[in-house]
Structure 1
Amino acid sequence: MTVRKLKFLPTKATFKLGEQLGMGTVGVVYRATSPDIDEPVAVKLLHPNVSGDENIVNRFEREIMIMERLNHPHIVRHYGGGIMEGQHFYAMQLLDHGSLKDRLAKGGPLPWQIVTVYTIQIASALQHAHNHGIVHRDLKPSNLFFDAEGNLVLGDFGIARDTHSAEITDHGVTVGTYAYMAPEQIQADARMDYKADLYSLGCVMYEMLTGHPPFTGANFAQVWDQHLHHQPIGLREKGVDCPEWLAKIVVQLLEKDPHDRPFSARTVQGYLKQHLTDELGEQQADELIEHLPEVPKAEYRRDEPRTWVLWLVLGAIAAGCAAMVLRS
């Protein structure tokens, strides 16, 4: 039997698997501990029945290699991967305080001050990824998780594009979640770059302020048509009480033409921090940024795995699609 050569250096850490947290078509997620790591982690293993699928294994390994390059407080921490008893696996930060999607579903729209701070954190994470040539391509509330301090952490790089690598090509293939996809992403434009993540950021901001994405419909075709040809209802028309400067940046992020969006995620981060400081004063703005309300741990029901668990397996599930990935 030929042993497949790994494309990355396997971790030296050892893991003891605990309770199963989630299961998908191609992967299983466990709570785990390691004598080499000070905190519990989440470990994802590929099912043995897909270990022979070259495409799935390649994408699984690519996600590991992407995560190895990223080290940021608002991106899920990666603890390496390898092969465990014949199964590919990787370990990552255990996030058990729910997702932004959970919070919006439970409590509705957020105050504009909190939206501003969350967006600063997301933009910081995106800029770090973009600096390393990574376009996330699936930014949405269900891929943003809360840590114990109430900060947002970006996860699920399963369909991220590595602009520094041509090993796996997906030109002409539409991937992402249709409620948050930039026009050029919908059209599978080969020139698509990090500006697509900025459009998705605008969608997330809109949802944090209103409780729903900028465009909704009965099916993906209706939503895509709106992304391509229509303008969202203005925040003021939706009754959102927020400063004009905040509404303005949302509009800019949702521009159809990538060139009309802000220059970078760092530009968005700086813009928001400066305006928040002008609005609240430096001391109060810094206090809000440094001390967000803590989020309680999400309740776990074995028959309904927590949302944060699902992203661990969805990336690999999506990788098996040959033509189009549509996740909602």
Structure 2
Amino acid sequence: MLNEEDFLFGKTALHHGILTKEQLEECILILQAQKEAGRELTLEEVALENHFLTREKLLEIYRLLGKNRIGNYEVEKKIAQGGTSSIYIAHHIQTGKKVALKVLLPHLTRNKEFVARFDREGEALTQFDHPHIVKAYETGVYQKHHFIALELLEGESLYEFLGQKTGIDERVALEIGLQIAKAMKYLHEKGFVHRDIKPQNIMITTDQVVKLIDLGLTKQISQISITQKGMILGTPYYISPEQASGAEKIDYRTDIYSWGATMYHLLTGRPPFVGDKAKEVMDKHLKEDPLPPWQINRSISQKTSALILATLEKEPEDRPLSFEMIIHHVNQILRPDFNTDKKTLEEGEVHSELIYSRESQKLLALTQEENRKRRRKKKKGGKSISQRLLQKKKKIAKSIG
């Protein structure tokens, strides 16, 4: 026996030809079987779960029932769908303000992990107020629909912007990277780790403002340890080695690696590592060193190439100490006269200006090859970082008189 809500839903779907009589009867049989098994589902959930309805058709039924509403928002149209959520253009019923309404996919609302992750994203976003992070106005649950009301942005994702390009202009890439770094500095100062920086989660608005738009894997640092050991979260092309290995504890340095992998893609037109399968790509993050960006795109300066390689170090402690440091170095590269430096650096050399900058020593003093040697020497009891830095300083000082 159907309750009143399910009866009206089924009657409307049948009357308007959205469901056939046979489909409706099958949905009712499945619904009854599920209830006998202890699962409390609605007719619409059964129809969606068993692919008798698409999300668009469900919204059509909602409109016919006068139910195209989620919380305080009236849904207008769907504009995107990902693996866990759909995005709709909607407007606030009282104020008329247009928003992007992010709604967890119906079949995931019974998965506690996905619900917790979605709700955590909403809670985090409502706490943030930064020009390079999408603004959240409200988060909640309405008739089992988990939703986040976000500012409506016009533009395209960084992934769409890249398209089939073989890399973009270095200065443009650095300007984009700088805005992302500022957003990440803000997140880290708030005590959050993003864990999934990638071009798909970054948007460039029509006003050329870069914004982080997806914080689905964001967690407070104090909560990271609750991640199940061995669980891999993140996107293979941009994932850090510690994430790829399923490490139990992840900190802010994983975001520095993913920022570097994203910048590598911007500058060269491809991620640091590619492969046919996710495991193959993750193994490369763990075991292989990326080609220096300037070897793929010869227009990239050695300074930028060195910065990107520093962020892609396998060991978290070998990466830049913070996004504040990254912002410092990007600004150094972007200064008006940075293109006037005609000195060509061979791979393995370090610019004396950067060596003598105390803040820069950790970031750019050791190149990729030197770090490989250091890791080998570390196992054999080789010279310390500070000893080799001192030697390099003396060598540079002697060469410049």
What's the TM-score bracket when you normalise by the shorter of the two chains? 0.7 to 0.9
Q: Conserved in 2, the CA contact under 8 Å of 1:199 and 1:253? A: yes
Report how far residue 123 of structure 1 moved: 0.5
Residue 199 (structure 2) aligns with:
141
Distance in 1 (CA, whole Å) between partners of 2:199 and 2:293 is: 19
Segment of structure 1 superposing worse, 139-148 or 158-167? 158-167
Q: Partner of 1:216: helix, strand, or coil?
A: coil
Residue 42 (structure 1) aligns with:
100
Identity %: 31
Q: Partner of 1:214: helix, strand, or coil?
A: coil
Q: Deviations over 1:169-223 (max 9, x none)?
A: 3332111111111111111222321101111111111111110001111212221
Q: Partner of 2:337: helix, strand, or coil?
A: helix
Distance in 1 (CA, whole Å) between partners of 2:243 and 2:83 is: 26
Q: Deviations over 1:40-97 (max 9, x none)?
A: 2111223455434333322221111111222111111111112234422111122331
Residue 90 (structure 1) aligns with:
148
| Within-5 A mapping of 1:1-328 | 14-23=72-81, 27-34=85-92, 40-165=98-223, 169-277=227-335, 279=337
Residues 15 and 225 of structure 1, relative CA distance in 2, 3 Å threshold: same
Q: Partner of 1:90: helix, strand, or coil?
A: strand
Distance in 2 (CA, whole Å) between partners of 1:115 and 1:177 is: 21
Distance in 1 (CA, whole Å) between partners of 2:286 and 2:83 is: 32
Q: Conserved in 2, the CA contact under 8 Å of 1:77 and 1:92? A: yes
Distance in 1 (CA, whole Å) between partners of 2:298 and 2:233 is: 31
Residues 50 and 112 of structure 1, relative CA distance in 2, 3 Å threshold: closer
Distance in 2 (CA, whole Å) between partners of 1:139 and 1:25 is: 16
Distance in 2 (CA, whole Å) between partners of 1:96 and 1:141 is: 16
Q: Which residue identity lines up with residue 29 of structure 1 in the other structure?
A: I
Report how far residue 166 of structure 1 moved: 6.6
TM-score (norm 1): 0.75
Distance in 2 (CA, whole Å) between partners of 1:25 and 1:183 is: 24
Residue 301 (structure 1) aligns with:
none
Q: Partner of 1:28: helix, strand, or coil?
A: strand
Q: Deviations over 1:107-137 (max 9, x none)?
A: 4411101111111101001111111121111
CA RMSD, aligned part only?
2.4
Q: Which residue identity lines up with residue 241 of structure 1 in the other structure?
A: S
Distance in 1 (CA, whole Å) between partners of 2:219 and 2:275 is: 27
Residues 133 and 170 of structure 1, relative CA distance in 2, 3 Å threshold: farther
Q: Conserved in 1, the CA contact under 8 Å of 2:224 and 2:250? A: no
The total of aligned residue pairs comes to: 270
Q: Conserved in 2, the CA contact under 8 Å of 1:95 and 1:146? A: no
Residues 233 and 71 of structure 1, relative CA distance in 2, 3 Å threshold: same
Q: Conserved in 2, the CA contact under 8 Å of 1:209 and 1:240? A: no
- Ranges in structure 2 where 5+ consecutive residues have no aligned partner: 1-39, 41-70, 340-401
Normalized per residue, which structure has more helix? Answer: 2
Residue 304 (structure 1) aligns with:
none
Distance in 1 (CA, whole Å) between partners of 2:173 and 2:274 is: 21
- Ranges in structure 1 where 5+ consecutive residues have no aligned partner: 3-12, 282-328
Q: Partner of 1:98: helix, strand, or coil?
A: strand
Distance in 2 (CA, whole Å) between partners of 1:187 and 1:264 is: 22
Residues 29 and 190 of structure 1, relative CA distance in 2, 3 Å threshold: same
Q: Conserved in 1, the CA contact under 8 Å of 2:91 and 2:98? A: yes
Q: Which residue identity lines up with residue 141 of structure 1 in the other structure?
A: P
